[in-house]
């Protein structure tokens, strides 16, 4: 078992650049998947949308299943090889998507993408495991900021590029971005390994024991509900915007701008999160940011203007952006350094599950209860999870007291 350290600030900066390229690459193709499905022979728009939903969800589902396995392997063979594996596999698989001839082939490749990739989780655990303890919060926040910025920029540039040169060429651009990311990681991200293995001690015994799942559970729940809140609004947003306009025009563009600026607000929150955690502690920051994100989400269900909806989405984005890197910092502090790959693999499962549940739940809520429901219900969930994390230690103390008394 080997401990890892990124060799200096230059390696960290290169890692950030590589993740900017990789995340932009993966999100580059998101806007036109339904159109691509139609080009592959599914002519009905409703059927194409259903296919697109299944195709995109397949990646999240398979990633949720295999992420802990990759994390455990990373603890054994190294974290940089896992990041390279995810990036190179992404380049190959996404490149092949531009060559498919049927929706079934595209579904198969998207499923394979979920099994083999996961650059965000791999980069997060690499930064967590190699950052100096006093810089961990800052570096995790900066990484998350870059990921949010890339997630905002990717769909914008991807949609524009697809309109200019075609959809299939866009998959080639994604493959190229991921290939560039792999080269940057391979050449400039360094790992410093100790010459000798650690002596047997209490810490090494702790490293071989089970993960502290009770300590991890609140943070994993927070990551899941944040991802659900982020993803659930997307399917309902265009329809909701149409109801707020006298003459619906350029609805898709407006929805894209709201989503993109929300991601930029989240990137700002990511920078703030590490500093707040250093001052107030991870648990307090997670509780308050989830609560404030939930409070800002609730009135979105009843807004009567686009400007107000947009403003509230920015506020929600800011608070969830704070919560994500702080949750990652909490995971880092909850496990032994040599078990971080496994712990962050489980965290990736929680995030991927949110990615899968969010869009499906948002679409179902919108069709069953109206366009306001995908904003109201996630807001309630965020507030409820905040209350659960706040009350869990009190319940545990009460339970232990009852056991002692009886």
Q: Averaged over 88-117, what is the pLDDT?
A: 96
Residue 202 domain flag: no
Same domain, 268 and 385: yes
CB atoms within 10 A of CB 235: 23
Same domain, 169 and 65: yes
- Give the pLDDT of residue 47: 80
Residue 268 domain flag: yes
Same domain, 264 and 405: yes
- Give the pLDDT of residue 62: 95
- Give the pLDDT of residue 397: 45
Instruction: Say if residue 7's pLDDT is above 60.
Output: no
Instruction: Say if residue 69's pLDDT is above 50.
Output: yes
Res. 152 pLDDT band, cuts 50 70 90: confident
The string of pLDDT tens digits covering residues 381-403 is 999 999 999 987 765 444 444 44
Same domain, 164 and 30: yes
Which domain-ending residue is among 158, 191, 224?
191
Same domain, 246 and 370: yes
The string of pLDDT tens digits covering residues 304-349 is 999 999 999 999 999 999 999 999 999 999 998 888 999 999 999 9
* DSSP classification of residue 318: H
Q: Averaged over 19-23, what is the pLDDT?
A: 93
Residue 51 domain flag: yes
Same domain, 237 and 155: no
Residue 196 domain flag: no
This prediction's pTM: 0.87
Which domain-ending residue is among 161, 191, 221?
191
- Give the pLDDT of residue 8: 65
Q: Which residues contact 167 (CB under 8 A, 6 or more apart)?
A: 32, 35, 36, 39, 98
- Give the pLDDT of residue 362: 85
- Give the pLDDT of residue 395: 55
Question: Is residue 284 within 8 Å of residue 329, measured between CB atoms?
Answer: no
Q: Averaged over 103-110, what is the pLDDT?
A: 95
Instruction: Say if residue 352's pLDDT is above 50.
Output: yes
> Domain containing 225 — which CATH number?
1.20.1250.20
Q: Apex CA 161: angle with CA 159 and CA 165, to 5°?
A: 125
- Give the pLDDT of residue 277: 93
Q: End-to-end alpha-carbon separation of the chain, Å?
A: 44
Same domain, 168 and 300: no
- List the single range of 40-54, 270-284, 312-326 with lowest mean pLDDT: 40-54
Residue 176 domain flag: yes
- Give the pLDDT of residue 65: 94
Instruction: Say if residue 207's pLDDT is above 70.
Output: no
Residue 30 CA to its chain's centroid (Å): 15
Same domain, 2 and 117: yes
Same domain, 180 and 296: no
Which domain-ending residue is among 191, 226, 245?
191
- List the single range of 108-122, 160-174, 300-314 with lowest mean pLDDT: 160-174
How far apart, in Å, are the Cα atoms of 293 and each of 48, 159, 304?
Answer: 33, 29, 20
Summary mean pLDDT of the chain: 86
Instruction: Say if residue 137's pLDDT is above 50.
Output: yes
If one counts the domains in the chain, the total is: 2
At 101, list the tokens.
């001839």
Residue 205 domain flag: no
Residue 204 domain flag: no
Instruction: Say if residue 302's pLDDT is above 90.
Output: yes
Same domain, 312 and 383: yes
Same domain, 135 and 214: no
Q: Which of 187, 191, 219, 168 has the alpha carbon at shortest distance from 388? A: 219
| Domain region containing 336 | 210-406
- Give the pLDDT of residue 398: 47
71 or 164, greater pLDDT? 71
The string of pLDDT tens digits covering residues 212-269 is 888 899 999 999 999 999 988 887 888 888 889 888 777 767 887 888 889 999 999 9
Same domain, 229 and 119: no
- List the single range of 157-171, 185-199, 207-221 with lowest mean pLDDT: 185-199
- Dist CA 348 CA 22 (whole Å): 17
- Cα torsion angle, 348, 351, 353, 355, sign: negative
Res. 203 pLDDT band, cuts 50 70 90: low
DSSP result, 209-262: S---HHHHHHHHHHHHHHHHHHHHTTTTHHHHHHHT-SS--SHHHHHHHHHHHH
């Amino acid at each position: 078992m080997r401990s890892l350290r990124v060799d200096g600030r230059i390696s960290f900066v290169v890692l950030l650049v590589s993740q900017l390229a990789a995340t932009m690459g993966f999100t580059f193709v998101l806007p036109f998947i339904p159109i691509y499905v139609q080009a592959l022979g599914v002519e009905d728009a409703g059927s194409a949308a259903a296919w697109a939903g299944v195709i995109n969800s397949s990646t999240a589902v398979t990633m949720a299943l295999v992420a802990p396995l990759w994390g455990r392997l990373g603890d054994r063979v190294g974290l940089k090889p896992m990041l390279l594996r995810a990036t190179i596999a992404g380049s190959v698989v996404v490149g092949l998507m531009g060559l498919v001839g049927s929706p079934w082939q595209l579904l198969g490749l998207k499923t394979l993408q979920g099994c083999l990739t996961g650059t965000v989780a791999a980069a997060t655990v690499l930064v967590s495991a190699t950052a100096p303890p006093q810089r961990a919060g800052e570096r995790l926040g900066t990484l998350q900021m870059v990921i949010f910025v890339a997630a905002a920029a990717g769909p914008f540039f991807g949609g524009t590029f697809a309109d200019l040169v075609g959809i299939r060429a866009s998959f080639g651009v994604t493959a190229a971005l991921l290939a560039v990311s792999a080269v940057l990681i391979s050449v400039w991200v360094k790992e410093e390994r100790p010459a000798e293995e650690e002596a047997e001690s209490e810490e090494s015994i702790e490293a071989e024991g089970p993960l502290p799942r009770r300590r991890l559970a609140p943070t994993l729940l927070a990551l899941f509900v944040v991802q659900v809140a982020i993803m659930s609004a997307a399917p309902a947003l265009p329809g909701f915007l149409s109801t707020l306009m006298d003459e619906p025009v350029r609805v898709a563009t407006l929805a894209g701008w709201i989503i993109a600026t929300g991601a930029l607000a989240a990137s700002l929150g990511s920078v703030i999160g590490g500093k707040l955690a250093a001052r107030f502690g991870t648990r307090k920051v997670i509780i308050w940011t989830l609560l404030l994100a939930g409070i800002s989400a609730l009135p979105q269900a009843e807004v009567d203007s686009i400007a107000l909806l947009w403003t509230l989405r920015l506020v929600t984005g800011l608070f969830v952006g704070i919560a994500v890197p702080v949750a990652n910092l909490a995971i880092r502090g909850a496990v032994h350094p040599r078990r971080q790959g496994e712990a962050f693999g489980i965290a990736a499962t929680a995030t991927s599950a949110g990615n899968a549940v969010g869009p499906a739940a948002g679409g179902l809520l919108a069709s069953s209860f109206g366009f306001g429901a995908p904003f109201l219900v996630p807001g309630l969930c965020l507030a409820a999870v905040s209350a659960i994390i706040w009350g869990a230690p009190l319940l545990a103390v009460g339970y232990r007291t009852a056991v002692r008394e009886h």
